[in-house]
Amino acid sequence: MTDAATQQTNDAARAEPGSPAEAEEREDRIVVEDVYKIFGGKADDAYKLLQDGKSKDEIFAETGATVAVQDASFTVYSGEVFVIMGLSGSGKSTMVRMLNRLIDPTYGTVKINGQDITAMDRKALIDMRRRDMSMVFQSFALMPHQTVLENAAFGLTISGRDKAEREKRAQEALDSVGLGPNANSYPSELSGGMKQRVGLARALANDPPVLLMDEAFSALDPLIRTEMQDELLRLQQEHRRTVVFISHDLDEAMRIGDRIAIMQDGRFVQIDTPDEIVSNPANDYVRSFFRNVDVTQVFKAGDIARQHVEPGEGVPEVSAEASLDEVLSVVADADGPAPVVDENGKRVGAISKTALLKTFDRAG
Ligand SMILES: Nc1ncnc2c1ncn2[C@@H]1O[C@H](COP(=O)(O)OP(=O)(O)OP(=O)(O)O)[C@@H](O)[C@H]1O
Ligand SMILES: [Mg+2]
C-alpha cells in the first residue's frame, strides 16, 4: 500500500534544535498498550471471536471485519530506530498510523511522551503532531511549481512563523540531507532519490523528536536506497531522534534498526535486537525472513557486541564498524572477548569467541 502524498503531521518548529546525543537519557517515547484495529463489521463481535482463538481469516469470513492489528503492546525509547517488518497486509501501516492517530485505534492506548493521544481532542492532537512528530511516506507529491526550498518549507507554512524563519529552517534541513545547492531547483529537475530527500528534509524541517517512516525508501533503486539509509544513520549520529521505520526489507531493517519488531497477521510476534532475532527467532515466520541471509556479511562488530561482557585483558580493540571476519581474526587466539569501540573510541561492549562462533554457526 502506498500513499499519495507525504503526510506532514508536524508543522510547527520546536524552539530548541535538540541536545547532543550523549547527554540524552533513554526515555519511554512511545508506549503502545493493548492496541487493536478492527476495520469494518462489528468490532466487539470480532474481538470476542479473537478471544475465542479464531484466526483473522475466520473472523473475516464470519463477520466481514478485518483485524488489522491485534493485541499490540510495546515501548519505543527515545533515540532508537525501531523497525517494523512483516509481510504485506500484516498491519504495519495501520500500526504506524495509529501512533499519530491518522487511524484511531479500536481499543487500547497510545502514549507519546506520557500523554495518551487516544484521549486527546482534536486541538490537542494537532498540537501534539506539530510538536512531536513528522511522517515520511513511500511516495509523495512535491508541488511542481514550487522550488525545492518551498517544498521543504511546506509543513512550516501553517505554523505561523515568518517567511525568513521558515526558509532558514527549510534551508538547514536541505543542507542536512545534502540538497543545499538544489534549493532553488524545481522538482522536475531532481532524480527520484533527490525527491525522496526533499520529503525527508520536509519532515526534518520541524525538527521533530519522533519520525514515522512508512516504507520511506522502498520506491528507490538499491544504490540510492543504501545511500538514504546511510543518510538516516548519519542524521541519527548528529541528532538522535526516535524513528519508527517500516520496511519490507530485511537488509534495511538490520542496517538501520536498533530493534526490529516483526508483525504477522496483525500481531507482534517478536521484538528484539537484530542479532537476537537472528539468533532466537520466535517462530518459523520470523525464521523465514532470515533464511537466505548471510548474517555474517550483514552484521558488524557493533551489532553483536554485548555491553555486559567484560573484554579480556590486553585484547586489541575492534571498531564497531569492523566486519565479523575482522573480529574473528582478533578473538581467534586472544585471551578473552574483544572490546568494541565506536568512532569516538567509546566502549560499546565486547564480543566473546563463543558468541562469534555461534553467529557464524547459525549462518552456516
Ligand atoms: N481502511 C481500511 N479498511 C479496511 N481494511 C483495511 C484498511 N486499511 C488496511 N486494511 C486491512 O488491514 C490489514 C493490514 O493492512 P496494512 O496496510 O496495515 O498492512 P501493511 O503491513 O502495511 O501492508 P503492506 O506491506 O502491503 O503495506 C490488511 O488486511 C488490509 O487489507
Ligand atoms: Mg503498508
Cell numbers for 288: 523465514
- Domain 21-293 CATH assignment equals 1.10.1240.10: no
| Res 338: pLDDT | 96
**Does the CB atom of residue 57 touch ligand 1 within 6 A?**
no
**Does the CB atom of residue 1 touch ligand 1 within 6 A?**
yes
pLDDT tens, residue by residue, 258-313? 999 999 999 999 999 988 888 788 999 998 887 766 777 778 898 888 888 899 99
Top mutation candidate among 2, 87, 88, 94 for ligand 1, by most atoms within 8 Å of CB? 94
pLDDT tens, residue by residue, 212-254? 999 888 877 788 888 888 888 888 888 889 999 999 888 889 8
Residue 339: pLDDT over 50: yes
Return d(Cα 219, Cα 178) in angstroms, integer: 19
Q: Is 329 helix (H, G, I), strand (E, B) or coil?
A: helix
Ligand nearest to the CA of 56: 1
**Lowest pLDDT segment from 13-22, 110-119, 163-172:** 13-22
**Lowest pLDDT segment from 14-18, 118-122, 293-297:** 14-18
Top mutation candidate among 93, 95, 104, 139 for ligand 1, by most atoms within 8 Å of CB? 93
Work out the burial of residue 160: count CB atoms within 10 Å of its CB; fewer than 13 is exposed, 13-18 middle, 19 or more buried: exposed
Domain extents in the chain: 21-293, 297-363
Rounded to the nearest angstrom, the distance between the alpha carbon of 96 and the centre of ligand 2 is 9
Please give the C-alpha separations between residue 30 and each of 5, 72, 200, in angstroms, as whole numbers: 24, 13, 21
Fold match flag (21-293 vs 297-363): no
User: CATH for 297-363?
Assistant: 3.10.580.10
Mean pLDDT of 177-190: 93
Looking from the CA of residue 2, the nearest atom of ligand 1 is: 27
Return d(Cα 207, Cα 210) in angstroms, integer: 9
Reported pTM: 0.79
Q: Give residues whose Cβ lies within 5 Å of ion ligand 2.
A: 1, 92-93
**Does the CB atom of residue 90 touch ligand 1 within 6 A?**
yes
| Res 289: pLDDT | 81
Confidence of residue 24 (pLDDT cuts 50, 70, 90): low
- When the pLDDT of each residue in the chain is averaged and rounded to a whole number, the result is 86
**Does the CB atom of residue 67 touch ligand 1 within 6 A?**
no
Rounded to the nearest angstrom, the distance between the alpha carbon of 287 and the centre of ligand 1 is 23
**Does the CB atom of residue 178 touch ligand 1 within 6 A?**
no
